[in-house]
A and B are shown apart, each in its own frame.
Chain A
Amino acid sequence: MGSEPIERRVSYIGDRLKGSRCPFCGREYFRPKKYCGNCGRKSLGKMEDIDFFYEKGVLETCTIVREPTNRFRRLGAYFYGVISFHNGKVRVPGRLTDMIIKDDELIDPSDFEGREVVPRFRRRYSVDKSDIIPMISLAFTFADEYYPYQQYEIIKPNKEYDAPGIVGYGVYISKFRIREGKMERSVPFIDEDAITAAVESGKLALIHSGVDHRLIGKIYVGSESNPYAVNPIASKVAQVLKLGEEEKTEGVQSVDAVDTEFACKAATSMFKDAMALVYYPKDSIEYAMVIGADNAQAAPRGEPGGELDFFVGFGGAAFIFGMKDVIAEIEGWYSCTSDTPDFWRRDLEPYPRHGGRFTGRPAYFKHILKAGRKLMEKMNLKPNDIDYFVCHQPNPTFPVRAAAALGFKPEQYMPGLQVSRFGNTYSGSSPIGLAAILDQAEPYKRIMIVSYGSGAGSDAYLFITTNQIKDKRKRQKFTVKYQVENKFINYVDYATYRRFKEGL
């Protein structure tokens, strides 16, 4: 049994790796301290807040843990060591994550010592199913491998737009994949889940946009695989990424945070809400963040709902909306909804069920085609007027057929088609496709995104890129393409994939 007050205190510091710096002598601490050991009384109350969440450290010494303590057992063998930050001003313990170490593998710690590492937000260890899930950022990966080090630099915006739009975005896909036939799908490491993917993608969106995290007034997280039935992912994201002004004495963020749920359109549905908030004439907010993240669930093959197991992926995409330094302005939107039960998951059930062929024409296609056609009609546009098209991608064939039915050609829909690389990332599916397009689109290109959520409904949006899209691109190392073509991708077998998906 965990203790909730202890959990709050540990995660408040450990999720973000918070510390203090003495303004007089520069001494640094991991874990905030009210005064400096060198400078004593004069430093009392004057210590500066620092954190190591966006920093890179050095793995100074390490060893291999082959017999973890009980709560870490499901991790298998892992590396554990001392990580230093700021040239040794601060040292913390940490484990390396995203590594599969074989039982008979001979290891020389000196092969790893001295290498640069970046902190990752992960599950801390196993707990009972009914307990609070403990998280921590004392999990690290090598800075020159799959997940690169990227500096978060707050940039003062210099241009205000007439219409709201996307200011920045980030996509987080895990390093692990399963390959079956021509299809590759992303697999979480065992310490990942929808919460970690949401935080990591949000972090990447902040890095890409250069937006001051304190100016984000609302955060929406859409997911259908929140490991909690009650307890929002959005509050975790807000706390870890310090969204909104921080009320330091209480450790409270001045931000509105909420989780949304509508199968795979939980995130896209909120795009318009986010844009409405930043455009709102009275007491508007500067920025709003929308994240779609899922550890897409599927029953094992052979069981009811097991057909989904061939297609599910893992990952998240985060978008920041605002009026300043916009990279893609909104042109219009259209949504439609009907009560169509094609895919559902009852409370307390671990895996969703699926309506078989019923999920096709009367569900997916009906809503996507309706939303796509209506929006083009409303905006008086033809497929030829649109440069890129992306829609929800539950499998490799549906999105191609939908795009063709709407009149789009492969050069319009292929850039956004990522399902055969990552699988169906549920709430993250069409947003990741949108991000893949934004990664490569030139200025003044028109993009149409049509999501689909079972239950059922679709959201269609039209964006037009601005010339600032190119300026910001250099701040995005972790592009969709980078994650697809990365040489550090680790392919796992079916049993490992199932085990990793179940989590710690």
Chain B
Amino acid sequence: MNRITDFFDRILGSRFWALFIKEVSQILHNRQLLIQLLVPPTVFLTLFGFALNPTFENLRVGITDYSHSRASREFIELFHQTQAFDIRKYYTNEQDMMADLGKGKLTVGITIPPEFDNDLARRRPTTVQALFDAVDANTANVASGYLSQLVSDYNLRRLDIDWRRQGIGTTANNNSTGFTTTNTLARQISPGVTNPALQQNQLPHEKPRVGRLQLQTSVFYNPGLESSWFIVPGTLGIVLTVVGSQAAASLVVREKEAGTIEQLIMTPASSTEVILAKISPLLVLLTFDAVIALIVGRIAFNLPFRGNFLVFLSISILYFFVGISMGILIASYAKSEQQALLTTFFVNPPLVLLSGGNFPILAMPTFMQWLSYLDPMRYFIEVCRGVLLKGVGLEILWPQVVILSIFATILMSLSICQFRRQLT
């Protein structure tokens, strides 16, 4: 009992505690800073979570159908079956469609040739033309991927039907019940059959038929493929870093500009104590921010929290430590508030871009991927996604923790050094 009160006495009586109280009351007096720290992160988190959706749906399709046949309508019907495509307009000639494509009204224009039906009926390969507006290379790429998947599904289905027909045909033949057999065979022995595989299979005794290959896909961690589950943890990292480093920089610089920093040196407190006391209230506020963000994520986006809350909290605090030290380091080099702020403003965008918060790191060129290893935010976002979505703990996230600790130590000692050098 005595030892506990002793412990509290020591903390409460320490210089650090006195400085901490000073910083807290200073921040509490600064209403604008409080608002700055608490409101924008929450607002932007919600906004981005709702708005940013990289999945491509309702890609605008225009169709020129010269064939006007049952087969072509069947083919077009495929586009209705997926969410990915949205047929905007049917054209009577290709020129009109191309003009609309040029104006950016369509993502893809599809031309079905007049001989489509005929070719299919004769088992001749036929060609459908797809024109993409490739100004947006990414969308065009995704659209062309979807489209080839659609066509390949269609082909497989057609081939399947053919196989089955032949299958029925041959069994029917074995059972020697005439009519259907002749019918199917008649349909197959057409002048257009050049396909060796098909021809081969018309011989009943030679059936190198292979079973179908089925893909069973299961999506881990995010079975509904909610894009907000990717965006929100990323934005959490981004927003809190931006806010934290800027607030820290401006707090330190302002004290420098106002000349009150000399008064702080006059106190018996060491520069480490001064800096730590400056950081702690911000740490508390940012942690508070993170918790609010998690609650918002939970309510607005149904974001899961699968991991251990304490693990998340302690790694977050470690990371905020990194972000704040970055701000303080910048501030200790800057001569004016404007310089400090401009520098943080310059440092933040690359950190944001390379972090993988909004854009997958895998999509970057190799060189950028290497650069991203130097970005502490990258590790924090990995931790966020790991704990929130994957529900993993320290046993998997320890490398991130080690790296973040290294960042924290280096940045902190650098800024304390620089601080000391400037003041003495």
Q: Do A and B bind each other?
A: no
